[in-house]
């Protein structure tokens, strides 16, 4: 749960601001888009519709385009000047679902330089302290759950409607691996229950997100699992990689590789799964682990990345082969820890 005094302070700032920017991270996922549009839904009810702008550092993926209010999201890649102006001239900026300004790429400088009062609302570990007010709950399943907690503690629950509920349900579902991770607690389920009671169509949301594969995506996944799965049994680790040529061959579009990292963890006894993908001259790494193995620390230590204990990421400006060989060397130092992971 969030601390009441920080929430009350945040509410005061929201009520007195006429120029509010809601920001979320680069490559926004379900929790990013769900939390920003869910909070926006509450702010509309507070008659702040005209005062609020929602900005994404880059495009939202197609499978999230049905989310309520998402047509009002500004894609800063297409409107960089305007997005920077809005951030610089805001009087209040609320950053959702990211813990460091580096995660908003080209908007980082304007966020840092803006004179606005800055609020962070986020569940990632170790939030940077660039903000004036940090609303952090690393035990929350998702930022969407935090938006609900925030609203509930402020007595805004009578503003909850189906649009807001669809947004928040999406982020909770996607960040908990469909309600299965340890982060998904009784409290999470109670919140989800209240969201469902507004009339949310659960199977529609699930279908929009998980059953919108292109044929190419499914074939690509098949090829990777068949030809490229590397299993390091002694280290209870698997990894997959996808280079630029393979992406061209399968006409891979943004978001097509989302979730590929999870398949490795379905192999018996595996506790660490890693996915490497070449993207614009960098290698983007996704780490997923089970139980006590902490990929946040691992990603921070070796690749300047981070995230959560069981789900982290990093971006490295090196070639694929070099990154993979650094990874394999690093993992060899963790044999005992991986063996004893429960």
Could you say whether residue 311 binds ligand 5GP (CB under 6 A)?
yes
Could you say whether residue 122 binds Mn ion (CB under 5 A)?
no
Q: Residue 163 or 175: which CB sits closer to ligand 5GP? A: 175
Minimum distance of ligand 5GP from residue 113's CB (angstroms)? 21
Within 10 angstroms of residue 296's Cβ, the number of other Cβ atoms is: 22
Select from Mn ion, ligand 5GP, none the partner in contact with residue 306, using the beta carbon and a kind-dependent cut-off of 5 to 8 Å: ligand 5GP
**Rounded Cα distance, 288 and 218, in Å:** 21
Distances (CA, A) of 78 to 60, 89, 106, 281, 309: 12, 19, 12, 21, 33
Could you say whether residue 31 binds Mn ion (CB under 5 A)?
yes
Minimum distance of Mn ion from residue 266's CB (angstroms)? 22
Select from Mn ion, ligand 5GP, none the partner in contact with residue 31, using the beta carbon and a kind-dependent cut-off of 5 to 8 Å: Mn ion
Stretch that binds ligand 5GP, among 45-53, 109-117, 212-220, 309-317 (CB under 6 A): 309-317
Closest CA to 209 of 34, 5, 14, 87: 34
Stretch that binds Mn ion, among 109-117, 175-183, 211-219, 266-274 (CB under 5 A): 175-183
Could you say whether residue 313 binds ligand 5GP (CB under 6 A)?
yes
Could you say whether residue 175 binds Mn ion (CB under 5 A)?
yes
**Rounded Cα distance, 333 and 106, in Å:** 35
Select from ligand 5GP, Mn ion, none the partner in contact with residue 312, using the beta carbon and a kind-dependent cut-off of 5 to 8 Å: ligand 5GP
Stretch that binds ligand 5GP, among 42-50, 206-214, 226-234, 304-312 (CB under 6 A): 304-312
Find the length of the chain: 342
What torsion do the CA atoms of 280, 282, 288, 294 make, to the nearest 10 degrees? -150
Eight-state DSSP code of residue 129: S
Eight-state DSSP code of residue 256: T
What burial class does residue 222 get, using C-beta atoms within 10 Å of its C-beta: 0-12 exposed, 13-18 middle, 19+ buried?
Answer: exposed
Q: Residue 99 or 110: which CB sits closer to ligand 5GP? A: 99
Distances (CA, A) of 250 to 122, 216, 246, 319, 320: 35, 6, 6, 21, 19
CA 305 to chain centre: 14
Residue nearest to Mn ion (CB): 31
Could you say whether residue 120 binds ligand 5GP (CB under 6 A)?
no
Among 97, 149, 166, 294, binds Mn ion (CB under 5 A): 97
Could you say whether residue 286 binds ligand 5GP (CB under 6 A)?
yes
Q: Which residues of 132-158 are buried (b: 16+ CB within 10 A; e: fewer)?
A: ebbbbbeebbbbbbbbbbbbbbbebee
Minimum distance of Mn ion from residue 28's CB (angstroms)? 10
| Binding-site ranges for ligand 5GP (CB under 6 A) | 124, 286, 305-308, 311-315
| Binding-site ranges for Mn ion (CB under 5 A) | 31, 97, 142-143, 175
């Amino acid at each position: 749960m969030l601390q009441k005094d920080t929430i009350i302070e945040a509410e005061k700032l929201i009520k007195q601001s006429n120029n509010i920017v809601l920001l979320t991270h680069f490559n926004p996922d379900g929790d990013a888009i769900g939390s920003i549009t869910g909070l926006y839904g509450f702010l509309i009810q507070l008659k702040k519709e005209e005062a609020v702008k929602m900005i994404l550092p880059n495009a939202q993926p197609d499978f999230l385009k049905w989310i309520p209010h998402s047509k009002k999201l500004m894609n800063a890649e297409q409107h960089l000047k305007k997005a920077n102006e809005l951030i610089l001239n805001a009087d209040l900026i609320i950053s959702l679902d990211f813990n460091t300004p580096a995660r908003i790429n080209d908007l980082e400088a304007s966020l840092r330089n803006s004179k606005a009062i800055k609020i962070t609302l986020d569940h990632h570990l170790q939030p940077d302290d660039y903000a004036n007010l940090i609303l952090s709950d690393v035990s929350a399943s998702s930022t969407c759950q935090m938006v609900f907690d925030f609203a509930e503690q402020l007595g805004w629950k009578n503003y909850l409607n189906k649009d807001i509920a669809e947004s928040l349900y999406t982020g909770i579902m996607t960040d908990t691996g469909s309600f299965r991770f340890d982060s998904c607690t009784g409290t999470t389920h109670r919140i989800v229950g209240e969201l469902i009671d507004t009339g949310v169509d659960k199977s529609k949301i699930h279908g929009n997100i998980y059953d919108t594969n292109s044929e190419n995506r499914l074939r690509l996944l098949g090829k990777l699992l068949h030809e490229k799965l590397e299993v390091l049994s002694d280290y209870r680790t698997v990894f997959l990689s996808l280079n630029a040529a393979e992406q061209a061959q399968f006409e891979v579009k943004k978001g097509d590789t989302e979730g590929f990292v999870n398949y490795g963890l379905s192999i018996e006894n595996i506790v660490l799964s890693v996915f490497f993908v070449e993207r614009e001259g960098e290698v983007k790494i996704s780490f997923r682990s089970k139980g006590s193995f902490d990929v946040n620390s691992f990603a921070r230590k070796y690749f300047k990345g981070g995230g959560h204990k069981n789900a982290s990421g990093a971006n490295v400006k090196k070639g694929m082969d070099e990154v993979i060989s650094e990874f394999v060397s690093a993992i060899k130092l963790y044999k005992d820890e991986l063996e004893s992971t429960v």
